[in-house]
């Protein structure tokens, strides 16, 4: 009986899985699979892409970026001036900018928001993105309680002056990050103190934002609906009437919902479905480079990995092409560097490549010919089928190429993080998704003692290079300094790059105007849905 | 879970004599107890084994149960000997091949890393059968002893013991498993411990409800009067009378345990990759059932077939041990 | 009877207290805290967060503060989803699980008892073997296999039912069946076993001898005894059903409490773990009591014990 059902199913899908059109929706509403339930809608208390996708519709920063060119464009600020030394930014706020309740958006609102996110008591995880503002770090660390020491000055209602610690070439691009978004003071304070966590100001009916959309309904774990904000300064150009976010965390469920025509966009695609879609419905699947890297960390404090030759040998013994093309099969690019190519105009000149002979020679030189005397190497990963599959492949490659006996160690997410934080591992699966399209956001992780280092690796020379890059005003020279740093990192550093992430999602034919980019940034105001021309594949 | 199979045993004895054709004066459960009692002084292995021989004779006549037994023996032989017979290793990858449909080279096809499914199933079957049977045995042992003691002692002690079971039901299992892994490592033994820790609870409730009704039966009271120690009464007079429901529930526990093993292995407690188990293969197979249906189909068939066989055998065994329900 | 209920009621207080206590310390014993994330927050931020939620206090202090809160019906804020308190989250998500559980129970009882009765009335017939094989299939086919299979057939292939979600009555059919199937299988086996026992007894023969119709014999006389095993089974089973299932709620995107059990443990959302565990504990205690009372009502001899 069961056999028959499965065989029938197999037949059905062998003849091609069909995609169904969802039918008409009122107005122009797009239905988006959003990966998970947002933790919060307070831009100062969230930390993920899930929340980012929602918050970019509810709020707007001073500047936006063009999703095609990735260049900053005007948003709530209509223009800005930058001082010649690149340390003082003066923003001119658009006179027509309005909150969703009709109040004007002023320079004061931004200053208030930044004071709020930097308030130590709020404990915002992304407050560090504002540490480029002069004095912001001290205020955030509680060394001073006087916000006037921070380089934020309200010149008048429409003029905001920002003084930075050092020239930060990506400051404008960073304005699309929710950490920089303004919040409505009267609303925040109606429901609690400026630095109080978890007040109900973000619920539907309470939330006041300045984005193109406003919160209509929030049914946790079910659906979150936003609708057009009539007070938005550019609302005439907005073509979507609303967005429905579905927090479907199971990839299989999301894909099935998409196939049934209930979703227009998905957050991801199940690994094994990607080749099928690429082959049979190439118009429905979109794969583009993404600004993140999947890599293995090596604990540089644990022998024998204290020896850079051992670390380098491990890195050189991996056939990344095979992992990317035969195991992942999802359009990922094999990673030969830590910073993905073309990040903020930077592509690493240094590379680690697959060279099993050289890897064996290095390992022998380090005193472990043919893996003799190495003992078992544990690969730590957090419970996930994809991580397990990759680890199984790495295990095999190390055994075949180096004679090393690798063991897989699967841990619950928080146990895994604790092991990483306390350096209680040998080799650990890791990932880094950049917050900002700049190589420094990747490379600064591996400075000595930085929280995200998590390898125990320490190089004074590397630290000096990163510090030098902060102070360099000439961007070309700055990138050159970072090239040197990355070359150090790749030559026996504590990491093994494996592949660069892809932004992979399903998109129904009705969706128009979505431009992919390495930031994974969706600009809702550019988009519309056209159910009429949604031709079946 | 309560006294379902034990209900009859609390009926007054005289009510049943009318339709007792196998053993006109005593029902089977009483028989075990009485016989033990009568021959307490001398060792009664001979008579005990004759009872067992009766059961075996009845079992042999049950065709469904015998078919189940044969299937089980075959499956057991396959997973023990099979891995040496197949030419593929369970961990040899061929990522260029990837997931391939059944063929002459790979009879049951390959998984997405190009590993032979038949070989993975044979090795995985060892894990699943071992876990399924051993963990069930652990839960059986704890559950039966605990339930019988609780029911026999009765009163305040029983209340305390059963409320303890309520508490254990309610504790967060996921957290328990994580802690077990962190503080005691990932020894295979802890897998049994973790599974046993949850699965004995219902067993204890069943046995207890049985014992509650058995406790005041004549043969037990006689044993008490004779001054037998409690452990003897429990072990030789009470527990043998609960075997029927225990066998049935145990066969229902096996599939649950095998699937629980898949969840625990996913969490990291249990089989370590690249080794697999039926539960894990099924779990992985579900995700690719549209693309590579054989990856779900074959492990599911092996899993279901084994459990059907086990169940048929369990039913037959229950009937064989209880002459009342035998149909000859 | 009232004394029995009262005693069990009093017994439940130490049970719940123990559950809270063990859960409280167990979840804190697990490595990692609620604020550990892939991108590590600065030590200052972490310190602030811990102070905000009083996690920097000595453990005994946290424990008694928490107990004090619970006595006043305050289960604290959720660490992971700070916008609502644990009580609010439970109020939001428990009713959904309760509803799904009720439908699943209905499915399980209807299908299971019917199959069990049919099988018991014709023991060892093809019908008996057929229904019992089906029941065994229900036990062998875990929710994570059955759910996606049902979706493929009824939602994607035939297009009769929605794929996922929890808004219209149509959305509720597949999750209810998936969740109910395994329980239906158990109930079928238990009903069959119970009925066979009863039907072999003297008073049934007497009833038949009196010339009562077979339907009347079965429904009026045998069923009363035959369902006892089912009733006994339903106590803990219903507690599991009503608090939701991680697997079913994930596959069908049901906004219930079942996912919270597993997710809050993974997230180390301490207050949420204890809150959801407590809901389950109350249900276990209450439903076991209800099942014991029902058993007593069905059978005077158990009551006498």
pLDDT digits (tens, 9 = 90+) for A286-318: 999 999 999 999 999 998 999 999 999 999 999
Q: What rounded mean pLDDT belongs to chain A? A: 90
B214 or C188, higher pLDDT: C188
Residues in contact with A72: Cβ distance below 8 Å, sequence separation at least 6, in sequence order: A63, A64, A65, A66, A172, A173, A175
- Confidence class for position A422, pLDDT limits 50, 70, 90: very high
Give the Cα separation of B123 and B276 in Å (integer): 7
Q: Is A253 on the interface with C (CB under 8 A)?
A: yes
Q: At what angle do helices C173-199 and C86-121 cross, to 10 degrees?
A: 40
* Residues from chain C contacting residue A42 (CB–CB below 8 Å): 83
In this predicted structure, what is the pLDDT of residue B51? 66
Chain A residues 408-467 with a CB less than 8 Å from chain C: 412-415, 417-419, 421, 431, 451-452, 454
In this predicted structure, what is the pLDDT of residue B324? 55
Q: Is A9 on the interface with B (CB under 8 A)?
A: yes
Rounded CA Rg of chain B = 23
Mutate to test the interface with B, among C128, C131, C140, C265 (most CBs of B within 10 A): C140
Q: Do A414 and C31 touch (CB under 8 A)?
A: yes
A411-428 burial string, b = 16+ CB within 10 Å, else e? Answer: bbbbbbbbbbeebebbbb
Domains and CATH numbers, chain A: 58-186 (3.90.76.10), 290-502 (3.10.105.10)
Q: What angle do CA A500, A506, A509 make, to 5 degrees?
A: 135
Q: Is A393 on the interface with B (CB under 8 A)?
A: yes
Give the Cα separation of C8 and C24 in Å (integer): 24
Nearest Cα to Cα of residue A121 among B119, C53, B1, C52? C52
- pTM (predicted TM-score): 0.87
How many CB atoms within 10 Å of residue B15? Answer: 12
- Whether C70 and C86 have beta carbons less than 8 Å apart is answered as no
Q: Is A280 on the interface with B (CB under 8 A)?
A: no
Q: What is the mean pLDDT of residues C253-277?
A: 90
In this predicted structure, what is the pLDDT of residue B38? 41
- Say whether pLDDT at A478 is over 90: yes
Tokens (6 digits) for C240: 């599991």
- Confidence class for position A351, pLDDT limits 50, 70, 90: very high
In this predicted structure, what is the pLDDT of residue A397? 95
Q: Do A392 and B267 touch (CB under 8 A)?
A: no
- Whether B75 and B304 have beta carbons less than 8 Å apart is answered as no
In this predicted structure, what is the pLDDT of residue C300? 59
For A79, phi then psi, to 5°, come to -160, 170
Q: What is the mean pLDDT of residues C245-261?
A: 90
Separation in Å, CA of C167 to nearest CA in chain B: 26
Give the Cα separation of C6 and B315 in Å (integer): 40
Nearest Cα to Cα of residue B29 among B177, B218, B198, B197? B218
- Facing C52 at nearest CB: one of A47, A123, A142: A123
Can you tell me whether residue A105 is helix, strand or coil?
coil
Tens digits of residue pLDDT in A141-169? 889 999 999 999 999 999 999 999 988 88
How far is C-alpha A303 from the chain's CA centre? 33
Residues in contact with B8: Cβ distance below 8 Å, sequence separation at least 6, in sequence order: B16, B27, B324, C197, C201
Give the Cα separation of B168 and B139 in Å (integer): 14
DSSP type of residue C149 = H
Q: Is B170 on the interface with C (CB under 8 A)?
A: yes
Rounded CA Rg of chain A = 25
Separation in Å, CA of C241 to nearest CA in chain B: 13
- Confidence class for position A401, pLDDT limits 50, 70, 90: very high
- Say whether pLDDT at C305 is over 60: no
Give the Cα separation of C89 and C107 in Å (integer): 27
* Residues from chain C contacting residue B175 (CB–CB below 8 Å): 23, 26-27, 30, 265, 273
- Say whether pLDDT at C21 is over 50: yes
How many CB atoms within 10 Å of residue B305? Answer: 16
Phi-psi region of A169 (alpha: psi -120 to 50; beta: other; left: phi over 0): alpha
Q: Do A42 and C83 touch (CB under 8 A)?
A: yes
Give the Cα separation of B259 and B278 in Å (integer): 8
Chain C residues 154-213 with a CB less than 8 Å from chain A: 155-157, 159, 162-167
Q: Do A389 and B95 touch (CB under 8 A)?
A: no
Q: Is B283 on the interface with C (CB under 8 A)?
A: yes
Q: Is A252 on the interface with C (CB under 8 A)?
A: yes
CA distances from A136 to A119, A130, A301, C114 (A): 10, 7, 33, 70
B5 or A272, higher pLDDT: A272
Q: Do B293 and A415 touch (CB under 8 A)?
A: no
In this predicted structure, what is the pLDDT of residue B50? 62
Give the Cα separation of A129 and A116 in Å (integer): 14
* Residues from chain C contacting residue B303 (CB–CB below 8 Å): 140
Separation in Å, CA of B198 to nearest CA in chain C: 13
Q: Do C305 and B255 touch (CB under 8 A)?
A: no
Q: Is A221 on the interface with C (CB under 8 A)?
A: yes
Give the Cα separation of A465 and A480 in Å (integer): 10
- Name the residue of chain A whose CA is nearest to C91's CA: A220
- Say whether pLDDT at C57 is over 60: yes
Q: Do C83 and A140 touch (CB under 8 A)?
A: no
In this predicted structure, what is the pLDDT of residue A109? 96
Q: Is C69 on the interface with A (CB under 8 A)?
A: no
Separation in Å, CA of A135 to nearest CA in chain C: 16
Q: What is the mean pLDDT of residues C168-183?
A: 92
Burial label for B87, CB within 10 Å (0-12, 13-18, 19+), is exposed
Interface of chain B toward chain A, CB-CB under 8 angstroms: 91, 93, 95-96, 98-99, 112-113, 178, 181-182, 266-268, 272-274, 284, 287-293, 296-297, 300-301, 304
Q: What is the mean pLDDT of residues B213-238?
A: 82
* Residues from chain B contacting residue C29 (CB–CB below 8 Å): 179
In this predicted structure, what is the pLDDT of residue C42? 82
- Confidence class for position B247, pLDDT limits 50, 70, 90: confident
- Facing C81 at nearest CB: one of A40, A47, A121: A40
Give this complex's ipTM: 0.89
Tens digits of residue pLDDT in A215-247? 999 999 999 999 999 999 999 999 999 999 999
Q: Do B167 and C15 touch (CB under 8 A)?
A: yes
Give the Cα separation of C186 and C109 in Å (integer): 10
- Say whether pLDDT at B298 is over 60: yes
Q: Which residues pair with A64 in a beta bridge?
A: A73
Separation in Å, CA of C168 to nearest CA in chain B: 27
Q: Give me the helices (H) in A366-498, please.
A: 385-402, 413-421, 439-443, 460-471, 475-490
- Say whether pLDDT at C119 is over 60: yes
- Say whether pLDDT at B62 is over 60: yes
Give the Cα separation of A407 and A391 in Å (integer): 9
Tens digits of residue pLDDT in A26-57? 468 999 999 889 989 999 988 888 899 999 99
A308 or C39, higher pLDDT: A308
- Confidence class for position B321, pLDDT limits 50, 70, 90: confident
- Name the residue of chain B whose CA is nearest to C8's CA: B159
Nearest Cα to Cα of residue A257 among A208, A213, A223? A223
* Residues from chain A contacting residue C259 (CB–CB below 8 Å): 221
Q: Do C155 and A260 touch (CB under 8 A)?
A: yes
Tens digits of residue pLDDT in B87-117? 788 888 888 888 888 888 888 888 888 899 9
In this predicted structure, what is the pLDDT of residue B3? 34
A111 or C117, higher pLDDT: A111
Q: Is B17 on the interface with C (CB under 8 A)?
A: no
Q: Do C265 and B174 touch (CB under 8 A)?
A: yes
- Facing C202 at nearest CB: one of B18, B64, B209: B18
Domains and CATH numbers, chain C: 2-71 (no CATH), 93-304 (1.10.3720.10)
Give the Cα separation of C112 and C106 in Å (integer): 10
In this predicted structure, what is the pLDDT of residue B18? 33
- Whether A242 and A253 have beta carbons less than 8 Å apart is answered as no
- Facing C277 at nearest CB: one of B166, B172, B259: B172
Q: Do A408 and B272 touch (CB under 8 A)?
A: yes
Give the Cα separation of C75 and C271 in Å (integer): 7
Give chain B's length: 328
For B110, phi then psi, to 5°, come to -130, 165
In this predicted structure, what is the pLDDT of residue B122? 92
- Say whether pLDDT at B311 is over 90: no
- Name the residue of chain B whose CA is nearest to A414's CA: B178
* Residues from chain A contacting residue B274 (CB–CB below 8 Å): 392, 395, 408
Nearest Cα to Cα of residue B171 among C234, C15, C281? C281
Tens digits of residue pLDDT in B16-45? 333 333 333 334 444 444 444 444 434 444
In this predicted structure, what is the pLDDT of residue B7? 31
Give the Cα separation of A477 and A312 in Å (integer): 28
Q: Is A267 on the interface with C (CB under 8 A)?
A: no
Q: Do C229 and B2 touch (CB under 8 A)?
A: yes
* Residues from chain A contacting residue B178 (CB–CB below 8 Å): 412, 415
* CA quadruple B301, B307, B313, B318: dihedral sign: negative
- Say whether pLDDT at A85 is over 50: yes
Q: What angle do CA C18, C24, C30 make, to 5 degrees?
A: 130
In this predicted structure, what is the pLDDT of residue C299? 65
A248-287 burial string, b = 16+ CB within 10 Å, else e? Answer: bbbbbbbbbbbbbbbbbbbbbbbbbbbbbbbeebeebbbb
Nearest Cα to Cα of residue B283 among A212, C242, C251? C251
Q: Which residues pair with A370 in a beta bridge?
A: none
B186 or A516, higher pLDDT: A516
Can you tell me whether residue A196 is helix, strand or coil?
coil
In this predicted structure, what is the pLDDT of residue A481? 96
Q: Do C27 and B176 touch (CB under 8 A)?
A: no
* Residues from chain C contacting residue A418 (CB–CB below 8 Å): 31-32, 36
Give chain A's length: 537
How many CB atoms within 10 Å of residue C251? Answer: 26
Q: Is B172 on the interface with C (CB under 8 A)?
A: yes
Residue whose tokens read 């076991």 = C288
CA distances from C160 to A15, A257, C111, C155, C252 (A): 20, 14, 21, 6, 15
């Amino acid at each position: 009986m069961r056999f028959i059902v499965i065989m029938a199913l197999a037949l059905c899908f062998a003849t091609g899985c069909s995609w169904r059109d969802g039918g008409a929706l009122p107005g122009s509403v797009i239905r988006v699979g959003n990966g998970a339930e947002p933790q919060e809608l307070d831009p100062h208390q969230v930390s993920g892409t899930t929340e980012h996708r929602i918050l970019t519709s509810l709020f707007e920063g001073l500047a936006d970026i063009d999703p095609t060119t990735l260049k900053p464009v005007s948003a709530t600020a209509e223009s800005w001036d930058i001082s010649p030394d690149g340390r003082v930014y003066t923003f001119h706020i658009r006179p027509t900018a309005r909150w969703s309740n009709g109040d004007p958006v002023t320079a004061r609102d931004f200053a208030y928001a930044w004071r709020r996110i930097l308030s130590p008591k709020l404990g915002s995880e992304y407050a560090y993105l504002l540490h480029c503002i002069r004095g912001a770090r001290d205020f955030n660390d509680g060394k001073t309680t006087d916000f006037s020491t921070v380089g934020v000055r309200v010149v008048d209602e429409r003029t905001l002056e920002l003084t930075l610690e050092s020239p930060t070439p990506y400051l404008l691009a960073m304005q699309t990050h929710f950490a920089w978004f303004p919040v409505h003071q009267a609303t925040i304070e109606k429901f609690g103190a400026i630095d109080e966590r978890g007040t109900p100001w973000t619920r539907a009916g309470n939330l006041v934002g300045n984005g193109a959309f406003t919160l209509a309904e929030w049914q946790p774990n079910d659906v979150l609906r936003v609708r057009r904000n009539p007070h938005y300064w550019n609302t005439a150009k907005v073509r979507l009437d609303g967005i429905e976010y579905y927090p479907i965390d199971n990839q299989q469920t999301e894909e099935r919902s998409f196939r049934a025509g209930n979703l227009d966009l998905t957050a991801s695609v199940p690994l094994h479905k990607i080749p099928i879609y690429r082959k049979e419905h190439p118009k429905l699947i979109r794969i583009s480079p993404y600004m993140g890297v999947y890599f293995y960390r090596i604990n540089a404090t644990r022998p024998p990995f204290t020896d850079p030759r051992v670390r380098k040998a491990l890195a050189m013994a991996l056939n990344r092409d095979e992992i990317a093309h035969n195991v992942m099969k999802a359009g990922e690019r094999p990673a030969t560097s830590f910073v993905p190519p073309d990040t903020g105009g930077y592509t690493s000149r240094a590379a680690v490549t697959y060279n099993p002979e050289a890897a064996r020679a290095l390992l022998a030189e380090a005193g472990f010919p043919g893996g003799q005397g190495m003992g078992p190497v544990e690969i730590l990963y957090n419970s996930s089928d994809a991580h397990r599959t990759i680890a199984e492949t790495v295990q095999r490659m190390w055994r075949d190429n180096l004679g090393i006996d690798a063991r897989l160690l699967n841990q619950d997410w928080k146990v895994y993080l604790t092991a990483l934080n306390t350096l209680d591992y040998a080799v650990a699966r890791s990932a880094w998704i950049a917050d900002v399209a700049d190589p420094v956001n990747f490379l600064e992780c591996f400075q000595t003692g930085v929280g995200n280092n998590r390898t125990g690796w320490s190089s004074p020379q590397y630290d000096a290079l990163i510090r030098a890059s902060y102070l360099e005003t000439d961007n070309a020279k700055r990138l050159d300094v970072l090239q040197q740093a990355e070359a150090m990192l790749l030559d026996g550093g504590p990491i093994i790059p494996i592949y660069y992430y892809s932004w992979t999602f399903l998109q129904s034919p009705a969706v128009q105007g979505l431009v992919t980019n390495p930031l994974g940034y969706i600009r809702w105001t550019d988009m519309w849905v056209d159910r009429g021309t949604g031709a079946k594949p | 879970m309560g006294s379902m199979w034990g209900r009859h045993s609390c009926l007054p004895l005289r009510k049943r004599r009318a339709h007792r054709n196998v053993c006109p004066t005593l029902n089977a459960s009483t028989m075990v107890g009485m016989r033990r009692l009568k021959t307490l002084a001398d060792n009664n292995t001979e008579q005990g084994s004759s009872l067992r021989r009766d059961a075996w004779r009845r079992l042999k006549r049950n065709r469904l149960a015998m078919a189940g037994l044969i299937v089980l023996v075959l499956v057991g032989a396959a997973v023990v000997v099979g891995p040496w017979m197949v030419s593929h290793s369970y961990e040899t990858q061929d990522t260029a091949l990837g997931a391939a449909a059944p063929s002459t080279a790979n009879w049951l096809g390959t998984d997405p890393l190009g590993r032979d499914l038949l070989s993975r199933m044979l090795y995985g079957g060892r894990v699943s059968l071992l876990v399924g049977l051993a963990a069930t045995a652990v839960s059986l042992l704890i559950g039966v002893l605990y339930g019988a003691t609780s029911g026999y002692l009765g009163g305040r002690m029983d209340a305390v013991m059963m409320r303890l079971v309520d508490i254990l039901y309610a504790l967060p299992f996921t957290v328990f498993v994580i802690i077990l892994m962190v503080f005691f490592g990932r020894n295979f033994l802890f897998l049994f411990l973790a599974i046993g820790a949850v699965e004995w609870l219902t067993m204890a409730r069943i046995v207890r409800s049985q014992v509650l009704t058995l406790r005041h039966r004549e043969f037990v009271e006689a044993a008490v009067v004779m001054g037998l120690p409690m452990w003897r009464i429990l072990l030789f007079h009470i527990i043998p009378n609960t075997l029927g429901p225990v066998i049935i529930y145990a066969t229902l526990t096996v599939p649950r345990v095998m699937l629980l093993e898949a969840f625990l292995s996913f969490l990291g407690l249990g089989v370590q990759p690249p080794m697999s188990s039926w539960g894990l293969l099924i779990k992985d197979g579900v995700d690719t059932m549209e693309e590579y249906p054989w990856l779900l189909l074959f492990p599911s068939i092996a899993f279901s077939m084994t459990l059907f066989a086990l169940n048929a055998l369990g039913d037959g065994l229950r009937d064989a041990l209880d002459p009342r329900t035998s149909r000859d | 009877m009232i004394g029995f209920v009262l005693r069990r009621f009093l017994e439940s207080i130490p049970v719940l207290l123990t559950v809270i206590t063990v859960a409280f310390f167990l979840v804190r014993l697990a490595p990692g805290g609620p604020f550990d994330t892939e991108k590590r927050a600065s030590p200052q931020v972490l310190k602030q967060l811990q102070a905000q939620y009083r996690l920097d206090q000595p453990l005994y202090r946290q424990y008694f503060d928490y107990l004090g809160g619970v006595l006043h019906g305050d289960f604290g804020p959720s660490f992971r989803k700070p916008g609502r308190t644990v009580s609010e989250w439970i109020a939001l998500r428990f009713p959904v699980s309760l509803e799904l559980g009720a439908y699943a129970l209905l499915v399980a009882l209807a299908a299971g008892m019917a199959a069990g009765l049919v099988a018991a009335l014709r023991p060892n017939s093809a019908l008996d073997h057929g229904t019992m094989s089906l029941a065994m299939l229900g036990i062998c086919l875990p929710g994570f296999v059955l759910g996606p299979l049902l979706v493929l057939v009824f939602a994607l292939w035939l297009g009769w039912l929605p794929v996922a979600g929890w808004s219209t009555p149509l959305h509720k059919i597949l999750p209810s069946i998936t969740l109910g199937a395994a329980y239906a299988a158990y109930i079928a086996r238990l009903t069959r076993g119970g009925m066979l026992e009863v039907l072999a007894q003297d008073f049934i023969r007497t009833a038949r001898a009196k010339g009562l119709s077979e339907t009347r014999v079965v429904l009026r006389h045998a069923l009363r005894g035959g369902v006892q095993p089912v009733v006994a089974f339903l106590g803990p089973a219903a507690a599991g059903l009503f608090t939701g299932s991680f697997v079913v709620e994930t596959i069908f995107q049901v906004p219930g409490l079942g996912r919270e059990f597993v997710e809050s443990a993974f997230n180390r959302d301490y207050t949420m773990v204890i809150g959801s565990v407590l809901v389950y504990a109350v249900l276990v205690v209450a439903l076991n009591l209800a099942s014991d009372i029902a058993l007593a009502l069905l059978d005077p001899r158990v009551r006498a014990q």
